[in-house]
Amino acid sequence: MFIGHYAPAFIAAKHRKAPPLAVLVVAVQVLDYAFFSFALLGIEHYRMTPNFTASNWLDLYDMRYSHSLLGAAVLGALFGGLVLAFTRSRAAAGIAFACVLSHWLADFIVHAPDLTVAGSPPRMGLGLWNHPLAEHALEVLLAFGALRFYANRTRSVGPRSGLVLTFFASIMGMFQLTDWLGPRTTEVSASQPALALFAFTVLALLALVVQSTRAKRA
């Protein structure tokens, strides 16, 4: 799952005590920020195995730290602690923690069995990636349905608010299409984690722009 991960961020952002949208957009990808950073550092590992699932070739055989449930909780607590330090709001920190943890729960639905509770077997995952039509539909409905929810429950600030939101949605959709339709390779290179980190960061920066053009309703 890629853009579907952002659904909890869009839904949570309308809460009056939630941290800003951009913070939540980062929160839901903290686990993948960690995984791809660890992959670049040689701490965690993946390989590209032809037809590993019907949706992609990602064989995520070593994610013991970033994608164990325990690891997700630790990363969520660390991120929530940062939010607490900056906002002095336990509610904001709790919402951020929940958004971080939502990533693991969404991955549990789509991944082949590669998730763990504490870094060692048994490995878990319901494998919806092996049913690409259903997984693609779920991803689109989650991401764009939640973005619509966010738009409907916030109000525009400035004349370009709608244009900014549309641009954000377009970039999000473009990244997802690239993930689905891009060329497959068995080569593992540093460019793959780097591109993933780039995409996450672009969407977080765009979320900064989006939040500047929206305001929470009273």
| List of the chain residues with pLDDT < 50 | none
Q: Which amino acid type is present at position 173?
A: G
pLDDT at position 159 is 84
Cβ neighbors of 38 (< 8 A, separation 6 or more) are 44, 65, 66
Query: What b/e readout covers 43-71, taking b as 16+ CB neighbours within 10 angstroms?
Result: ebebebeeebbebbebbbebbbbbbbbeb
pLDDT at position 1 is 87
What residue ranges do the domains of the chain occupy? 3-216
pLDDT at position 16 is 92
pLDDT at position 105 is 98
**Do the beta carbons of residue 37 and residue 193 sit within 8 Å?**
yes
pLDDT at position 217 is 79
pLDDT at position 158 is 82
This prediction has a pTM of 0.95
**Do the beta carbons of residue 146 and residue 1 sit within 8 Å?**
no
